[in-house]
Amino acid sequence: MSYRRRRKPGVADDRAIAWLFLLPNFLGFAVFTAGPVLFSLVVSFSNWNLQRTIPFQWIAFENYAELMRDQQFWLYFINTLYLMLGMPVAIAGSLALAILLSQRLRGIVVYRTLFYLPSITSGVALMILWKALYNPDFGPINAAINAVSEALGLNMRAPEWLLSTANLLGLEVERVRVSAQQFGLGARDALIIMGIWIAIGGNNMLLYLAALTNVPQELTEAAQLDGAGKWSVFRNVTWPQLAPTTFFIVVMSFIGGLQGGFEQARVMTGGGPAGTTTTLTYYIYTKAFEEFQIGYASAVSWILFAIIFVVTLINWKFGAKEVSY
């Protein structure tokens, strides 16, 4: 329940006092968010380099033009999108887990806690752990694959995981092209699998769980009485009721995915092998803090910002419609 007072004519306007209460937060916002965003836009029109050898110059749109010609930028953009391919699997998995958990069973809280563990502990420690798990020679994952392969008498070669440029789409390394030799399981797929493991029982599952308990029982019961089967009830009653939640989750995952991949690259792969796990965020990091090209890095970050802005606009335009189911 929420109480929202309507402003009545004659009621005192608390504007002055409101601004006092907002002051600390807005001051911080102005200094550490609004100012920097504008500053970064301005800088993106310069060749500013933290190494003093290069004289500062305004170069208008040169950074952006350079960006369009920068093949690395496009390859890393594709990497970023490739790493987002795990999203639908993770979201569908979250929904499936939530459906299982929304039944009246014993020990639901225990399951929910266990599922949530990966996402609550995610961070550098977990990435170091997964790096060890993926070790092609000594890691337990390949040990298990080799054991199974031997037991079944298959002559299977276990993937090289984080050391391999292979991938499930067969993308080539230096060019935007597909070839059969590149087909296989490599670093990017390893990161996707880890990402699914982290995300599947996390916040999205909790959101679905809440949404499922909010589906009016009369609706599902009425459908059952009308003789609808399990799948039909889900498809025609539950799924439409979940639409706002699904929409929210997809948009948030999309925005998160576009900015993602930094920790994985820095901790697990160094962006390699051959740049295949370098995402846009990691590219910006290396440009700014390893090559000190602040101007160029700012231009890349503004392109990323623009893409996210468009996604958010789509969210606003269509989100409201979806919610009013």
**Footprint (CB under 8 A) of another protein, residues 67-126:** 97, 100-101, 103, 105, 107, 109-118, 120-126
Nearest CA to 45 out of 55, 56, 33 is that of 56
Contacts of 76 (CB under 8 A, 6+ apart): 275, 278, 279, 280, 282, 283
Judged by CB under 8 A, which stretch of 14-22, 55-63, 65-73, 185-193 contacts another protein? 14-22
Output phi, psi for 47, to 5 deg. Answer: -100, 25
When binding is defined by CB under 8 A, the residue of 75, 95, 98, 207 that contacts another protein is 207
- Please report, as residue ranges, which positions from 257 to 296 form the binding site for another protein (by CB under 8 A): 258-259, 262-263, 266-267, 281, 284-285, 288-289, 294
Judged by CB under 8 A, which stretch of 68-76, 150-158, 177-185, 254-262 contacts another protein? 254-262
When binding is defined by CB under 8 A, the residue of 26, 56, 239, 318 that contacts another protein is 26
When binding is defined by CB under 8 A, the residue of 159, 201, 257, 261 that contacts another protein is 201
> Closest distance between another protein and the C-beta of residue 207, in Å?
5
Burial of 88 (0-12, 13-18, 19+ CB in 10 A): exposed
Report the residue number, 174 or 221, with the smaller CB distance to another protein: 221
For 35, the enclosing helix (H) or strand (E) is helix 35-43
What CA–CA distance (Å, rounded) separates 200 from 116? 8
Judged by CB under 8 A, which stretch of 7-15, 68-76, 176-184, 231-239 contacts another protein? 7-15
Nearest CA to 260 out of 208, 316, 198 is that of 198
Report the residue number, 119 or 167, with the smaller CB distance to another protein: 119
Q: Does 56 bind another protein (CB under 8 A)?
A: no
> Closest distance between another protein and the C-beta of residue 198, in Å?
10
> Closest distance between another protein and the C-beta of residue 275, in Å?
18
Site size toward another protein, by CB under 8 A: 101
For 9, the enclosing helix (H) or strand (E) is none
Neighbours of 183 (CB within 10 A): 14
Secondary structure of residue 25 in the 3-state scheme: helix
> Closest distance between another protein and the C-beta of residue 199, in Å?
11
- Please report, as residue ranges, which positions from 161 to 180 form the binding site for another protein (by CB under 8 A): none
Q: Does 138 bind another protein (CB under 8 A)?
A: yes
Q: Does 197 bind another protein (CB under 8 A)?
A: yes
Nearest CA to 254 out of 115, 95, 80 is that of 80
For 22, the enclosing helix (H) or strand (E) is helix 15-29
Report the residue number, 84 or 171, with the smaller CB distance to another protein: 84
When binding is defined by CB under 8 A, the residue of 60, 65, 68, 132 that contacts another protein is 132
Q: Which two tokens stand for residue 292?
A: 């000190």
Look up residue 261 and give its DSSP letter: -
